[in-house]
Amino acid sequence: MVELNSSQNRAQSRQYLGRRNWLVILCWLILFLYLSYVFSLFELTTERFLIGLDNGAKFLSRMIPPNFARHELLIEGLVESLQIGIIATTAGVLLSLPLGFLAARNLMPIWVTWFARGIIVLCRSFHPVIVAILFVKAVGFGALAGVLALIVASIGFIAKLFAEAVEEISLKQIEAVRSTGASFTNIILIGVIPQVMGRFIGFASYQLDSNLRNSTMVGLVGAGGIGGTLFAAFQRFDYDFVAAILLSIVAIIMVGEGINNVVRRIYR
């Protein structure tokens, strides 16, 4: 009996011995060699690093103190960026609601979901700046191109997450509403939306924050907003005004984050 227990203990100890997975080790080795090769392409030397630190210090010194003397131009650009972000988010949310329902596989037939998800993938395939360039070529310079670009980005984000949220809901509530003979519209309004409303508010709040940030980026390519003012200031080497613009953007994002927190508390 003692010999049997000792043999079992030896078998268990052998079972828990770590085994070398040579495939994993090989993958880590290949990754290390690849990263070493990529790092060598940067041609990073001690001299170049020290020169970069010196140039960075000079650049930052020219940004201090920030210059708010041209506050009219600054406020105009910020207001336009706010308008672009709010309008794009509102339109994106309204368009994402039906598209998210159509992409939910637990509510729609497969051919409908594939079509809806294809539209979502198309909207998510390109960065907002690239889409803004396309709309600038299509409708010209200005805020309209920025709004259209961010609407596309909003649809790609919100519709995807909303469809996934709808697919995770409990079907018991839907079956209970359906058993009363309710129409499909009433099933959506009573059985689905109450279950996903909290998450949808969170998605919309996050997208508003994202659009406020992206509205400064699309302006770099002529799609309106404070980004155009920022790009022009960089071209003039007006770095103290650049610092004022950057601080204003940070302030706007912080205000937007505060508003998002208030909205989430209301709908929590």
User: pTM of the entire structure?
Assistant: 0.74
Dist. CA 88–CA 95, nearest whole Å: 11
pLDDT band at 253 (very low <50, low <70, confident <90, very high): confident
pLDDT at position 9 = 54
Q: What is the pLDDT of residue 17?
A: 47
Domains and their CATH numbers in the chain? 22-63 (no CATH), 73-266 (1.10.3720.10)
As a whole-number percent, the residues of the chain with pLDDT over 90 amount to: 0
How does pLDDT run across 210-232, given as a tens digit for each residue? Answer: 888 888 888 888 777 788 888 88
Give per-residue pLDDT as tens, 3-24: 545 555 555 555 544 556 778 8
Cβ pair 169, 187 in contact under 8 A: no
* CA 42 to centroid of chain Cα atoms: 28
- The pLDDT value recorded for residue 61 is 80
Q: Say whether pLDDT at 91 is over 60.
A: yes
Identify the CA nearest to 222 among candidates 150, 128, 143: 143
Contacts of 124 (CB under 8 A, 6+ apart): 156, 157, 160
Cα–Cα distance for residue pair 220/226, rounded to 1 Å? 8
Q: What is the mean pLDDT of residues 118-137?
A: 87
